[in-house]
Amino acid sequence: MTDVLRLEGISKRFGGVVAVEEFSLTQGRDAITGIIGPNGAGKTTVFNLATGVYPLDSGRVFFGDREITRLPPHRRTDLGIARTFQNIRLFRNLDVLDNLKVAHDMKVRYTLWEEMLRLPRVRREERKIHEQALHYLDYLQLTRYAEARPANLPYGIQRRLELARALMTEPRLLLLDEPAAGLNPQEVRTLMDTIRKVREDHRLSVIVVEHHMELIMNICSHIHVLDFGKKIAEGRPEEIKKNEAVLQAYLGDEG
């Protein structure tokens, strides 16, 4: 009951390549968990399996008490799983506001017929969703970009925009896929504060896939280490820092 997400021995192969093997994870209600590992270790695949992008080869996925192993991605989002992408995937033909609104459209209540005729309820609900989008833009200091196209914005802003879009789905669990990639040290520090703030303000559970050690060690209470699709270690940041297998696989000989 207190767990938000539970992955039970999930596995995925692509052709002959094992991407993820027998990975398990239990995510508490307001935990921040980190998943680290060298390139190609299967971190993003774990996210793709949790969000339903690929079907599992084996294993089960639970969200709260509910098994969601076979649910399509949009149903999982509706239940409360949101994510950002490693290689930013904003909608380039929608302006910033509409990028956010799309993520909230599953909660909008009007029928197709009302929409065709633009009846009063449509106007009302559109005003509401507009307010909501403005709220999240304001919350992440993005208000002045409201009318811009995402492609014209700096990289760091695009990352923050993806976070705002994920929040628009009103999630209980937030999956961040390399949120610090491409950010400068100053931006990374801001990001750490933002993640903490977002979690507290929205009582969210967060899982972060990341290469950036400082970020992971700073904000995560629990860390899983993947190598070649297998979990090689798991524990609190201090434990991970000292773990032999991790030092070898992840940090190399210099560790």
Partner 1 sequence: MFWLKVLEITSLYTILVLGIYLMTGLTGLFSLGQGGFVSIGAYTAAIAFVRFGFPFPLALVAAVAMGAVLGLLIGIPTLRLRRDYFLLVTFGFGEMIRAALLYLSQLTGGAMGMAGMPRRAGLPLILVSIAVITFITYSLKRSRFGRKCVAIRDDELAASIMGVNVFAQKIMVFVISSAITAYGGALYAFNILFIEPNLFNWLESGKLIIITFVGGLNSIAGVIAASAIYYSFGEFFRFIDVWRDVLLALVVILVIIFRPGGLFQGLELLPRRLKAQRKVR
Integer Cα distance of 45 and 20 in angstroms: 7
151: its two tokens: 């492609």
Piece in contact with partner 1 (CB under 8 A), picked from 1-9, 96-104, 188-196, 228-236: 96-104
Contact status, residue 226 vs residue 46, Cβ threshold 8 Å: yes
Tell me how far, at minimum, the Cβ of 56 lies from partner 1, in Å.
17
Which of 32, 53, 56, 34 is closest to 43 using CA atoms? Answer: 34
Tell me how far, at minimum, the Cβ of 99 lies from partner 1, in Å.
8
First-to-last CA distance in the chain? 39
Contact status, residue 146 vs residue 96, Cβ threshold 8 Å: yes
108 touches partner 1 by CB under 8 A? yes
Cβ nearer to partner 1, comparing 106 with 251: 106
Give how far Cα 215 sits from Cα of 35, 220, 245, Å: 12, 8, 21
Tell me how far, at minimum, the Cβ of 111 lies from partner 1, in Å.
10
Tell me how far, at minimum, the Cβ of 115 lies from partner 1, in Å.
6
Question: Helix, strand or coil for residue 211?
Answer: coil
Piece in contact with partner 1 (CB under 8 A), picked from 18-26, 113-121, 215-223, 228-236: 113-121
Tell me how far, at minimum, the Cβ of 106 lies from partner 1, in Å.
4
Phi, psi of 69 (to 5 degrees): -50, -40
Of 62, 85, 139, 228, the one binding partner 1 by CB under 8 A: 85
Percent of the chain as helix, strand, coil, to the nearest 5: 45, 25, 35
Piece in contact with partner 1 (CB under 8 A), picked from 8-16, 112-120, 187-195, 234-242: 112-120
What character string, x for contact with partner 1 (CB under 8 A) and - otherwise, covers 33-72? Answer: ------------------x-x------------------x
Piece in contact with partner 1 (CB under 8 A), picked from 31-39, 114-122, 190-198, 243-251: 114-122
Phi, psi of 48 (to 5 degrees): -65, -35
Give how far Cα 152 sits from Cα of 92, 147, 250, Å: 9, 11, 36
Integer Cα distance of 118 and 104 in angstroms: 19
Of 28, 69, 90, 228, the one binding partner 1 by CB under 8 A: 90
Cβ nearer to partner 1, comparing 110 with 228: 110
Q: Site for partner 1 (CB under 8 A): how many residues?
A: 33
Give how far Cα 190 sits from Cα of 135, 146, 219, Å: 20, 21, 12
101 touches partner 1 by CB under 8 A? yes
Of 1, 112, 131, 253, the one binding partner 1 by CB under 8 A: 112
- Which spans of this chain sit near partner 1 (rule: CB under 8 A)? 51, 53, 72-74, 77-78, 83, 85, 89-94, 98, 101-103, 105-106, 108, 110, 112, 115-118, 122, 126, 147, 165, 169
